[in-house]
Amino acid sequence: MVFDNSANNIMEAPKLQSVLSEAYAAAAGKSKKNLDFQTETKSLQVSNGKLANLKPKVRKFVEESAHLCQPANIHICDGSDREMRNLLNIMQQAGMIEPLPKYTNCWLARTDPGDVARVESKTFVVTKDRRETIPTPKEGVKGLLGNWMSPEDLKKAIQERFPGCMAGRTMYVVPYSMGPVGSPLSKIGIELTDSPYVVASMRTMTRMGKAVLDTLGDEDFVKCLHSVGCPLPLKKNLVNNWPCDPERTIVTHVPETKEIISFGSGYGGNSLLGKKCFALRIGSTIAKKEGWLAEHMLILGITNPKGVKKYIAAAFPSACGKTNLAMMTPSLPGYKVECVGDDIAWMKFDEDGILRAINPENGFFGVAPGTSMHTNPVAMKTVLSNTIFTNVAKTSDGGVFWEGLEKETPNNVTITSWLGDTNWSKESGKPAAHPNSRFCTPAGQCPIIDPAWEDPKGVPISAILFGGRRPEGVPLIYEAFNWRHGVLVGAAMRSEATAAAEHKGKVIMHDPFAMRPFFGYNFGHYLQHWLSMEQRTDKPLPQIFHVNWFRKDEKGRFIWPGFGENVRVLDWILQRVDGGDVAEESAVGLIPKPSSLNMKGLENENVDMDELFRLPKDFWEQEVKDISKYFTEQVGEDLPNEIGEELKKLDKRIEKL
C-alpha cells in the first residue's frame, strides 16, 4: 500500500520530541535546579511506595511531572484492596462520594453538572502534519473527523495549564495494563492524576497496581498526565465537591511519542485515560503500524441450541447498545450469550491467519438509564457490589434510581435526583438521572463473563456488526456482499446523537465505524487499513453485517422489541456464518429470506416485519447523496478509490428500487 503521506516518511522528518519535555525543562529552570533527580527526591514527599523502587524511565516521568505540577504528595498505587478502601474513604470525607447501603461496597458520585460527558470539541490529536491526523476538508467546510493540534500549540496549552496545577493535592501514580498483565497482546500505561475518583475507577477499568510495575521492563509505556485543574487553595468554590475546570478542559494525544495529556475534566473518557485515549486513539495508531485493529466494539460469545459457539464483535456508537448486546439474555430457548467485552476490541491475526480479539479493559463503564431487570438483568446483577455509580439518582432506602427502573422501585421511597432535588418526581419534567449517568463495575463480576475473556490469545471472530440509531429507512439486518462492501457499510454509518458527548438534540450524525470521536489518525488512511485486511490473511475474514434496533413507526415508537429479542437477529447471522441459504439480495445488501428470521414466540407482539425491512427509494437516494457529500467534503483525496466505487455500486442498486 502507498499512502499519500508516504513522501513525508521518506524525507525522514526529525522525530517529534516529547511535548512534555519542554514543560519539564521550564519547570526545572524556574526552581533554578538541574534536573538531578537523585538529589531532588528529598523535596518530593511520597506517602505510598518508593521512588527508588521505580524503573528509571518511570521514575523520571513521575519526578519531572511532580516538578511541573507541584503536588503536595506522591502516592504510588499498589492496586491493593486496602488502597481502594483508603481512596473511597478519602473521597467520602471530601464529600465526593456517598455510600449506597442497599448494596455491598457501592458508591454514588455526583459531579459538577458542567462535567458530565466526553468533550469531543476539546479533544485533539497532535502530529507535525495536520493530514496525518485528519483528512483535509473541502474549502469552507468545517472538518468533522476529529481535531488536530500542532506540537507547538500543545506545548503552549500545557504551559498555560500544568505548572503548579496539583498544588496542595496528591499526585497518584497509576500503573496499568490494557489486557491481562504480562500477555503478549497487552500494553502498559502509567497515568499520573490528582483525582482519587480517577484512581478508583482505573482500578476497576484496568489491571492496575504493583504487578504492572513488576512486569514493565525497559520498554516504553504510554505516558498519561491528568489533572482536574483545581490547585489548592481554590480560586472558586467547587460544585458538589467535584473539582474540574470545564472552561479550560483539554484532552490531547501525541501518538508519535505515546503521550496523553488531559486537563480540567474528571469524567469518563476525558480522564480514565486507558479507555478511549489509549485503547482507541493511541491504540489505533499502534494497530495501523503493526497491522491490527483497535476498535470501538463489544465482543460476545454465542452458543446455539446445538452447542456450537461463535464469537461476534459489534461497533455501535456511544450509547447505542453495545453493553446491552454484550450481556443480553436471549429470548430464544437453547441460546446462551457470554460476554468478553462491552466497549473496546483489539483484533489481530494469529499465526493461522484467524482474526482474534481481546478486550483490553477490566471493567464496564456502562450507561445506567434504560438498564433494568427487563432490559438487561445481567448488568443489574453485576452492579450490586463494588460499583461506583456516577450522576444517577438515589432512593431513600439507600439504593439507586434512573429512568427505566420505575417498575422495580418500591412505591414508598423518595427519590433524590442527580442534581440533588431531594423530593424528585416525574412531574418535575426533568430526568432523575443524567442521561449519561454510568456504573463502573468489575467485569469479573458479570455472571455471564466468558470463560475465555482473559485468554491472552483472544477469541476468534466470526462476524462483525455495524449499527446505530436509525429511526427511519434502515432495515433491522442486512449483510454486506463482501469485505469491501462491508468497509463501505462501516464508513457510511450514521446514528442519532446521544448524551455520551456534548452534542445537543437528536440529529443524525455520521459516525463511521462508531469511531468518529476516537480515530487516532486520518480516517482515509484508516479505511485503507481496513481494506488491507483482505491481503493479510488467506483465511476467510469475518462476515460483515449492519443492524438497526431503533427503527420507529409514525407514532415514534420502536418497531423492534430489542434487547433479548435481538438474539433472533444473531441467530440469522449464525446461520449465515454457517453458510446457510437464508439470504436474498436487496439493494443495500443480503437480507433474510421470508421466514428465515426466527419469530417464534413473538406472534402476539404484532411486529411489523414489512416496515422493519422496507427500503424506501427516496430515503436511500437521499442517504447515498448524503454519504457521497460527506466523503467528498470530509475525506476528499484521502478516500480510497475502492470506497468510492462501492458507493457507486450502491447508488446503481438503489436506482433499480
Question: Measured at CB, which residue is nearest to Mn ion?
Answer: 343
Report in angstroms how near the CB of residue 187 gets to ligand GTP at its nearest. Answer: 21
Residue 227 or 395: which CB sits closer to ligand SPV? 227
DSSP conformation letters of 388-425:
EEES-EEETTS-EE-TT-GGGS-TT--EE-TT--TTB-
Report in angstroms how near the CB of residue 336 gets to ligand GTP at its nearest. Answer: 18
For position 343 contacting Mn ion by CB under 5 A, the verdict is yes
Q: What, of ligand GTP, Mn ion, ligand SPV, none, does residue 370 touch, CB below 5 to 8 Å by kind?
A: ligand GTP
Taking CB under 5 A as the criterion, which residues in 227-256 touch Mn ion? none
Catalytic residue flag (residue 525): no
Taken in order 306, 307, 310, 314, the sign of the CA dihedral is positive
Report in angstroms how near the CB of residue 319 gets to ligand GTP at its nearest. Answer: 4
Residue 365 or 572: which CB sits closer to ligand SPV? 365
Report in angstroms how near the CB of residue 552 gets to ligand GTP at its nearest. Answer: 10
For position 342 contacting Mn ion by CB under 5 A, the verdict is no
Residue 124 or 365: which CB sits closer to ligand SPV? 365
Selecting among 183, 318, 372, 462, the annotated active-site residue is 318
Selecting among 59, 67, 75, 118, the annotated active-site residue is 118
Which H, E and C letters describe 18-51, residue by residue? Answer: CHHHHHHHHHHHHCCCCCCHHHHHHHCCEEECCH
Q: What, of ligand GTP, ligand SPV, Mn ion, none, does residue 471 touch, CB below 5 to 8 Å by kind?
A: none
Residue in the block written with cell 443489574: 380
Catalytic residue flag (residue 230): no
Q: Which residues contact 203 (CB under 8 A, 6 or more apart)?
A: 77, 79, 83, 84, 87, 209
Catalytic residue flag (residue 6): no
Catalytic residue flag (residue 656): no
Helix residue ranges, H only, 371-516: 377-382, 483-491
Residue 276 or 470: which CB sits closer to ligand SPV? 276
Selecting among 438, 516, 546, 551, the annotated active-site residue is 438
Report in angstroms how near the CB of residue 570 gets to ligand GTP at its nearest. Answer: 12
DSSP state of 304: -
Selecting among 69, 320, 339, 440, the annotated active-site residue is 320
For position 638 contacting Mn ion by CB under 5 A, the verdict is no
C-alpha–C-alpha distance, residues 569 and 297, integer Å: 18
Residue in the block written with cell 491526523: 133
Query: Beta strand 222-227 with 259-263: parallel, antiparallel or unpaired?
Result: parallel
Contact window for Mn ion (CB under 5 A) among 151-159, 231-239, 338-346, 367-375: 338-346
- CA distances (Å), origin 273, targets 277, 315, 567, 596: 5, 20, 33, 44
Residue in the block written with cell 447501603: 101
Residue 202 or 337: which CB sits closer to ligand SPV? 202
Residue 110 or 322: which CB sits closer to Mn ion? 322
C-alpha–C-alpha distance, residues 251 and 261, integer Å: 6
C-alpha–C-alpha distance, residues 280 and 300, integer Å: 19
Selecting among 342, 343, 571, 638, the annotated active-site residue is 343
The number of helices, as runs of H, and strands, as runs of E, in the chain is 19, 31
Report in angstroms how near the CB of residue 368 gets to ligand GTP at its nearest. Answer: 8
Q: CA 634 from chain center: how many Å? A: 23
**Per the omega criterion (within 30 degrees of 0), is the bond before 233 cis?**
yes
**Interface positions with ligand GTP (CB under 6 A):** 316, 318-324, 342-343, 366-367, 369-370, 375, 500, 549, 558, 562-563, 566
Catalytic residue flag (residue 343): yes
Residue 175 or 321: which CB sits closer to ligand GTP? 321
C-alpha–C-alpha distance, residues 572 and 616, integer Å: 23
Catalytic residue flag (residue 267): yes
Report in angstroms how near the CB of residue 560 gets to ligand SPV at its nearest. Answer: 22
Report in angstroms how near the CB of residue 402 gets to ligand GTP at its nearest. Answer: 9
DSSP state of 501: B
Report in angstroms how near the CB of residue 285 gets to ligand SPV at its nearest. Answer: 18
- CA distances (Å), origin 599, targets 77, 312, 605: 52, 21, 10
Helix (H/G/I), strand (E/B), else coil: 279: helix
H or E stretch covering 520: none
Catalytic residue flag (residue 296): yes
Q: What, of ligand GTP, ligand SPV, Mn ion, none, does residue 268 touch, CB below 5 to 8 Å by kind?
A: ligand SPV
Helix residue ranges, H only, 123-259: 130-133, 151-161, 196-205, 210-215
Q: Rounded to 5 degrees, what are φ and ψ at 338?
A: -125, 150
Residue 251 or 590: which CB sits closer to ligand SPV? 251
Catalytic residue flag (residue 244): no
**Interface positions with ligand SPV (CB under 6 A):** 118, 268-269, 275-276, 318, 343, 365, 500
Question: Measured at CB, which residue is nearest to ligand GTP?
Answer: 370
Give the per-residue contact string, 298-327, with Mn ion (x = CB under 5 A; - = no). --------------------x---------
Q: Which residues contact 57 (CB under 8 A, 6 or more apart)?
A: 218, 220, 221
Residue 275 or 348: which CB sits closer to ligand SPV? 275
Catalytic residues: 118, 267, 276, 296, 318, 320, 343, 438
Q: Which residues bind Mn ion (CB under 5 A)?
A: 318, 343
